[in-house]
Amino acid sequence: MSTVNAEELYSETAKSLREITALEGISRILGWDEMVMLPSGSSGSRADQKSALAGVIYDKRTNAKLGEHLSELKSVSSSLSAVRAAVVRDAHKEFVNSAAIPKDLAQRMATLESTAYEAWVEARKTSDFSKFSSSLQEWVDVNRQRAACIDPTAPAYDVLLDMYEKGMKASRIDEVFNEVRAG
């Protein structure tokens, strides 16, 4: 692939990635609104909204054409700037991880964000953890499923941790905390 073609493909791919990012921003705004403005008892409708949006984001993030473009760009990343090569690397990893998860699981997680949040607010208000415990257990369960979809051979915590701290392993965190404890 020529440098010109790689740049054109990157531009087209970046446009898709910006659209996904915009939709994810809308989802975050819905989450913020839920915490700040949404009347109590409205989590069901907000959960439906977030689930529908998660489905749209999932379809765009796991689009086969996007995956092909990212794979092509990854194979010629040495012809891209360092920043663009990093964007391609990270977007490709996100594509692979997203495609490993079933759409219904992605939507279930979006739904659970709303229903669990409302349960947590009520539990906190009444100092009754039992109102939130089943939501918390479900959140743990769906994240274990998510991790198993992404990498069934790795410990779930390592898979989930890698989403926020690339390359980090639970064993390294244990080392750090042991050093802190030792003083």
What per-residue confidence (pLDDT) applies to 32? 96
Give this prediction's pTM. 0.89
The verdict on residue 73 lying in a domain is yes
The verdict on residue 159 lying in a domain is no
The verdict on residue 55 lying in a domain is yes
Cα 32 to Cα 38: distance, rounded to the nearest angstrom = 9
What are 140-149's pLDDT values in tens digits? 999 999 999 9
Decide if pLDDT at 182 tops 70: yes
User: 25 is in which domain, residue-wise?
Assistant: 3-127
The verdict on residue 56 lying in a domain is yes
The verdict on residue 183 lying in a domain is no
Looking at the structure of the chain, the number of domains it has is 1
The verdict on residue 171 lying in a domain is no
What are 48-83's pLDDT values in tens digits? 999 999 999 999 999 999 999 999 999 999 999 999
Q: What is the dihedral of CA 148, 151, 155, 156, to 10 degrees?
A: -40
Question: Residue 115 — pLDDT band, cuts 50, 70, 90?
Answer: very high
What per-residue confidence (pLDDT) applies to 40? 84
The verdict on residue 41 lying in a domain is yes
